[in-house]
Structure 1
Amino acid sequence: MLQTHDLHVTLDAEAGLVRALDGLSLTLERGETFALVGESGCGKSMTALALMRLLPDNGRIEQGSVDLGTDVPDGKPTELLYLPECEMRRIRGGHVGIIFQEPATSLNPVMRVGDQIVEAIEAHTSLRGVAARRKAVDWLRRVGIPEPERRIDSYPFEMSGGQKQRVMIAMTLAAEPRYLIADEPTTALDVTIQKQVLDLLKALQQERQLGLLLITHDLGVVADMAHRVALMYAGQIIEEAPAATFFAQPHHPYARMLLQALPDAERRGEPLVTIGGSVPPLWQTFEGCRFAPRCDRAQAKCREQAPKLAEAPGDRGAEVRCWFPLSRDDAMVRPPASVAGATASADAQPATGPAEVGVQPQPLLDVQSLSVTFRSGGGLFRPRHEVAAVQDVSFSLRSGQTLALVGESGCGKTTTGRAIVQLLRGQPQVGVSGQVWLQQGTSRADLLTMPAPALQTARQAIQMVFQDPFASLNPRMRVADILEEGMRSLRPDWSSERRLRQVAELVERVGLRPDALQRFPHEFSGGQRQRVAIARALAVEPQLLVCDEPTSALDVSVQAQILNLLRELQSHLGLSLLFITHNMSVVAYLADHVAVMQNGRIVEQGYTKQVLERPQHDYTRTLLSAVPAHPSRRH
């Protein structure tokens, strides 16, 4: 088994010494899935980096141990923290593999994906040359890459976000490790490929007794995969239990709040439960319980004395770090009282879907016969090749409404969003045709034919939240400058005082602390960077927001904050959302209409209730069958 005991990790930062992990202990056995869940910044990814000895230059392990036991070829116990680097390279990949959260920054951009997989195979197995390449093709096929014989020679930039994640998974599993650390392995994947990858991991566990440390914020995936669950908060594990116990009878107040923050159709029309405040900065000195400032059950003792991880009341297999844990009676996860009314009102709606309120004569966005073609080659040695990424797509979106665009990775969802926002204009290898009408006041203009000066003005009304926040944020700019940049360019009439006030309000709205304004993007976790990206898009007060997987990198509680924020903005400002996502629970909760894409075409669209409950197309039915069940209903 892979064991960590009393692990302490610190990071040197401008604000002081950050205690990223404070006494973490866990055990991962062969053949089991151990899920590590918690909010962004709680230490989940730092745990993975510490286990692999891949901490950043400013990080160090102060004390503790990471023991691989006798599960190595020579049968000798292996204490990983004291191995020389040359020995550690043998352990990484060959014995303990890792799938990183952001594949765009984990894959070498100047190497073909096949070469990267072959490199891992040759480093950790006996296969070489043609045999290694054949194995790489086989792994690409197993993780769901279409046409693996051709795509093995593609570069990472030629693949979608979900496809890059699948390549990363293939590269890690091809080395045949005994233990696998998966840091948000399905974040960028649509539900069908997610199910395929998770089924693959399950099969590998049975076939090779693979031990899987699953780091994720997707509780649906945890409920489907995990044997045991550990919930982290501010560098510590605050609850550990078998998965069935964790979802049916959580003992820590934080665990209960997380489960109540999950979106679904039953909570539609009502705010989701949110957890006030944010994870405390880890450079401060803690005296009592670290969750006490945000806990609805906190008492004086909680603020004065730090609780220890101890056996939960009534459950010998569960441990909880809380002075006043939830009992068996009140630990049952019940929906908020307001949900009963929301369900009743939803049932009272006509079968065709939600009633449209305040319908205007013209839609805010009207897309007609949009097509996007990517061209390559055409030179002396490469024949001309064209790919029709989007074909004859049409839909409309009215003010204050949400249209969800769903489908598998690579189906054209992101390309559709980029074409609408005019991010493909001027690229010689891209052909865009059709019409994209945007209603601004009493005038209506086609974004595709709009001259550059007019487009600059139009960008005040339409903004985009990108799927990969790390790639979309300028690494050399502080958050305050990132948020103010758009206002300076698109809102020149705003005073500096208004810009500063807007920046301060945005940071609070998306759940970040004020000190985040003076930090750089690399100093945040993936979920925190996504919140910065959402704040940047909202900074100029747009009418239409094109959201490309905006909550895929967010933990449950922050996702609830963002969804509540978007609903509030829709209610007060009439904000419209084109919501590109693979999270069907978010679709059921937020969207008024759904459009399902397959191979660049829309194969079905209609009211959310109608499409999700009575799908007409075979592909839609396949897509919905792959969605994990809601955790509270599974256990």
Structure 2
Amino acid sequence: MLQLQDLQVALDADAGLVKALDGVSLTLQRGETFALVGESGCGKSMTALAIMRLLPDNGRVMRGRVALSNKVPDAKPNELLALPESSMRRIRGGRVGIIFQEPATSLNPVMRVGDQIVEAIQAHTGLRGPQARNNAIQWLKRVGIPEPERRIDSYPFEMSGGQKQRVMIAMTLAAEPDFLIADEPTTALDVTIQKQVLDLLKELQSERQLGLLLITHDLAVVADMAHRVALMYAGQIIEEAPAEVFFKRPRHPYARSLLQALPDGVLRGQKLAAIAGTVPPLWQTFTACRFEPRCERAQAQCRAQAPKLERQGQQAVRCFFPVGSGDAAMPSNLTVDGVAGLAVGAAAITAQVRAALAPESVAAPQAAHAAIALPLLDVRGLNVRFTSGGGLFRLPHVVQAVADVSFQVHAGQTLALVGESGCGKTTTGRAIVQLLRGQPQIQVSGEAWLDAGADGGAGRLDLFAMQSAALLNARRSVQMVFQDPFASLNPRMRVQDILQEGLLILRPDWSADQRMARVRELVERVGLRADALNRFPHEFSGGQRQRLAIARALAVEPRVLVCDEPTSALDVSVQAQILNLLRELQQQLGLGMLFITHNMGVVAYLADRVAVMKAGRVVEQGEAQAVFESPQDDYTRTLLAAVPKRPV
């Protein structure tokens, strides 16, 4: 087994000593999946780093132990915190592997992905040379990389975010560890590849009795994979239970609130039940319940003393007034990721969701007007080609990444662009925002007409034909939220400078006071505290960095927002806050959105229209109701059938 006992981890920060983990205890057995869930910044990833002894330079273990059973029968367990680094290197990867949350920063950018996998195989197995390379190809194939014999020689920058994540999974599993820590392993994956990867992990558990510590905010994945669930909040475990019990009858008020914040088609047009407030700063000394300021059930005792984790039967809960038998159970007719009643065979939606998706149920007045008005963005015949290689006696390799794609985005409406990783969704978004210009190896053709409106005068402007000052002015109207927030935020700039950067360039008429007021408002609206303004990106969790990326895109008040997986790194509660914010902006400003995502629950809740991409082409497009209820293309049916379900 892998066991943590009373683990406390502290980080030195400007605000003081931050207790990132405060008395965390858990036990992971081989052959089981233990899911660690909770809000961004609660300590999930720090738990993984502590186990692997990969804490940042300012972090240290204050107390507790991490014990790993020895392979020798009856031998004492390995005390991982006491081992010399030379011994820990053999365990790290060989016995306990880890899949990191952000593959773009975990893969070596100057090494071919195959060489990185082979390196792990040779370090922890007996395979060498051609045998190791063949084994790497087989792992790439098992995790769903197309053409593995060719892609093994690719560099990370030549792969999409989802493909890089699959390479990370292949590299970790190729070392054949006994225990696997998976930190958001399916964040960047679409539902079909997610299902393939999760099925692979289940298969490996059966073959090798793999113990899996699954760190995720995707409750659908937890419901499908986990045997046990532990919910974390502010550095502590506040509830632990078997997965089935956790989903049917959660006891902690925070757990119940999380499940009620899930987006779905039934709630379309309504405000999601987001949890008010934010996680408290962990540098302070706690003398009361840490969730009390956000809890609707809080009483005087909660404000006077801190509850302990008390076990009752199969569940353990840290709460003085937990949800009891008199409270209603969670509804069982919804899937965890929010697509209600999707039948695997027919990929149909229940009558309840049909009614919710019906045009008359959409309350926003902009939706009816947008149907007859000119679109904010009209993309026609978009083509993107990538050329690589070539030279003496060699022909260049040409990839048609996007082929003849056309769609429209109307004011106050959302077009969801869905499809497998690598199908061209992100390339489409980048081409529209004009981020592929000036690169000789990329050829872009087609038209992208922008309704000029008040920003550019009367008429429509073709983004692909604009140059210099005219293009700069148009960028104020079209902004993008990128998939990888760590790579898109300047690590050398403080948050307030990052958020003001666009305002300085695109809103030169604003004063310094106006810019700071706008920045403070944005930070609060995306669910972060004001003290975030003076911090650097590396001081935030993945989900918190994503919120900063969204705030930066919204800073210049765009009319069209291209969102590339904007909620993929967010936990359920913060996702609800962001979706509420985007929906509110649409109603107030008539904001049009191109929403690139693989989360079908978000699509059912937010999208007015859906376009399905496969291999660079749009294979199906229409109203959300029609696409969900009666998909016409076999690929669309496959996507809907792969959506994970919550057990009833």
Shorter-chain TM-score: which interval?
over 0.9
CA distance in structure 1 between the aligned counterparts of 2:57 and 2:170, rounded to whole angstroms? 28
Deviation of 1:569 (Å): 0.2
| Cα separation, 2, equivalents of 1:385 and 1:38 | 45
* Worse-superposed segment, 251-260 or 325-334: 325-334
State the match for 1:338 in structure 2.
none
Q: 1:238-387, aligned counterparts within 5 Å?
A: 238-312=238-312, 316-330=313-327, 332-333=329-330, 347=355, 350=358, 356-359=367-370, 360-380=372-392, 382-387=394-399
Shift of 1:329: 2.8
In structure 1, what is the equivalent of residue 433 of structure 2?
421
For structure 2, the 5+ residue unaligned runs are 333-350
Q: Is 2:419 the counterpart of 1:407? A: yes
Residue 616 of structure 1: aligned partner: 632
CA distance in 1, matches of 2:287, 2:393: 68
Residue 543 of structure 1, CA deviation: 0.2
Which letter does structure 2 place at the counterpart of 1:36?
A: L
2-side partners of 1:267 and 1:452: how far apart? 44
Distance 1:425 1:69 in 2: 55
Following the alignment from structure 2 to structure 1, what is the Cα–Cα distance between the partners of residues 510 and 71? 63
Distance of aligned partners of 1:68 and 1:425 in 2 relative to their CA distance in 1, 3 Å threshold: same
Question: How many pairs were matched up?
Answer: 623
After TM superposition, give the deviation of residue 456 of structure 1 in Å: 0.4
- TM-score computed with the length of structure 2 as normaliser: 0.94
Within 1, Cα distance between the matches of 2:437 and 2:72? 55
Give aligned-pair identity as a percent.
Answer: 74
Question: Paired residue for 1:96?
Answer: 96
SS across alignment from 1:605: strand
**Corresponding residue SS for 2:527:** coil
Residue aligning to 2:564: 548
CA 1:351–1:566: 2 relative to 1, 3 Å:
closer
Query: How far apart, in 2, do the equivalents of 1:575 and 1:71 lie?
Result: 59
Q: What does 1:464-475 align with in structure 2 at a 5 Å threshold?
A: 464-475=480-491
Q: What is the identity, as a one-letter code, of the residue corresponding to 1:328?
A: S
Structure 1 stretches lacking a partner, 5+ long: 336-342
- Change in CA separation of 1:386 and 1:14 when aligned onto 2, cut-off 3 Å: same
Whole-angstrom CA distance in 1 between matches of 2:110 and 2:262: 40
Name the aligned partner's letter for residue 70 of structure 2: T
- Partner-residue secondary structure (3-state), 2:46: helix
Deviations 1:318-343 (CA, angstroms, capped at 9, x unpaired): 000000001023152259xxxxxxx9
Distance 1:334 1:350, change over 3 A: closer
**Structure 1 residues 349 and 258: alpha-carbon distance in aligned structure 2, compared to 1, 3 A threshold:** closer
Q: CA deviation at 1:383?
A: 2.4
Cα deviation for residue 627 of structure 1 reads 0.7
CA drift of 1:498 comes to 1.3
Name the residue aligned to 1:607.
623
Q: Does the aligned pair in 2 maintain the 1:435–1:447 contact within 8 Å?
A: yes
Deviations, residues 424-454 of structure 1 (Å, cap 9, x unaligned):
0111110000100000123101100112210
**Stretch of structure 1 that moved more, 525-534 or 497-506:** 497-506
Tell whether the 8 Å contact from 1:351 to 1:610 is kept in structure 2 after alignment. Answer: no
Is 1:83 the counterpart of 2:77 in the alignment? no
Which region of structure 1 is more displaced relative to structure 2, 548-557 or 380-389?
Answer: 380-389
Opposite residue 498 of structure 1, the aligned amino acid is: Q
Give the Cα–Cα distance (whole angstroms) in 1 for the partners of residues 116 and 352 of structure 2.
54
Q: Distance in 1 between matches of 2:443 and 2:361?
A: 36
400, 403, 406: which one aligns with 1:394: 406
Q: Contact 1:182–1:214 (CA<8 Å) still a contact in 2?
A: yes
**Partner Cα distance (2:302, 2:361) in 1:** 47
Give the deviation of 1:350 after TM superposition.
4.9
Greater than 3 Å deviation, 4+ residue runs: 71-76, 343-346, 348-356
- Specify the alignment match of 1:32 in structure 2: 32
CA drift at 1:71: 3.4
User: Where does residue 223 of structure 2 map in the other structure?
Assistant: 223
Deviations 1:382-405 (A, max 9, x none): 421110000000011111100000
Name the counterpart of 1:492. 508
Aligned to 1:376, the other structure's residue is in SS state strand
The equivalences for 1:444-463 within 5 A come to: 444-463=460-479
3-state SS in 1 of match to 2:390 = coil
Aligned match of 2:348:
none
Distance in 2, Cα, partners of 1:72 & 1:39: 38
2:265 touches 2:357 (CA, 8 Å); kept in 1? no
SS at match of 1:24: strand
Deviation at 1:499, TM superposition (A): 0.9
Q: Hey, what's the Cα distance between the residues in 2 that align with 1:510 and 1:60?
A: 30
1:253-283 Cα deviation digits (max 9, x unpaired): 0000000000011111100001111000100
Measured on the aligned residues, the alpha-carbon RMSD in Å equals 1.7
Change (3 A) 1:72 1:489: farther
Partners of 1:10 and 1:414 in 2: CA distance:
38
Matched, 1:205 2:205: yes
1:378, distance to aligned residue in structure 2 (A): 2.7
Assess if the C-alpha contact under 8 Å between 2:354 and 2:629 holds in 1: no
Instruction: Answer yes or no: is the 8 Å Cα contact 2:495–2:532 preserved in 1.
Output: yes
Say whether 1:502 aligns with 2:493. no
Matches of residues 175-190 of structure 1 in structure 2 within 5 Å? 175-190=175-190
Measure, in 1, the Cα distance between the counterparts of 2:230 and 2:239. 6
How far is the alpha carbon of 1:460 from its aligned partner?
0.8
1:13 CA drift (Å): 0.5
Is the Cα–Cα contact under 8 Å of residues 595 and 605 in structure 1 kept in the other structure?
A: yes
What whole-Å deviation, never above 9, does each CA across 1:3-44 have from its counterpart, x for those lacking one?
A: 010001000011100001000000000100000000010000
Match of 1:5 in 2: 5
The 1-side partners of 2:306 and 2:360 are apart by: 53
Structure 1 position 354, deviation (Å): 5.7
1:22 is the counterpart of 2:37: no
- Between the aligned partners of 1:70 and 1:381, the Cα distance in structure 2 is 56
Answering whether residue 447 of structure 2 is matched by residue 439 of structure 1, we say no
- Deviation, structure 1 residue 348: 7.5
Say if 1:45 and 1:174 are closer, same or farther in 2 by CA, change over 3 A: same
What is the alpha-carbon distance in structure 2 between the residues aligned to residue 67 and residue 317 of structure 1?
Answer: 24
Tell me the secondary structure at the aligned position of residue 101 of structure 1: coil
Partner of 1:578: 594
Q: Residues 478 and 519 of structure 1 are in contact (CA less than 8 Å); yes or no, is this contact kept in structure 2?
A: yes
**In the TM superposition, what are the counterparts of 1:528-567 in structure 2 within 5 Å?**
528-567=544-583
Verify the 8 A CA contact 1:251 1:331 in the aligned structure 2. no
CA distance in 2, matches of 1:346, 1:540: 36
Find the aligned partners of 1:103 and 1:344 in 2 and give their Cα distance.
Answer: 39
Question: Structure 1 CA distance, aligned partners of 2:75 and 2:611?
Answer: 55
Q: Cα 1:67–1:593, aligned 2, differ >3 Å: closer, same or farther? A: same
CA separation in 1, counterparts of 2:330 and 2:141? 40
Give 2:50's aligned residue.
50
User: Match of 1:179, as an amino acid?
Assistant: F
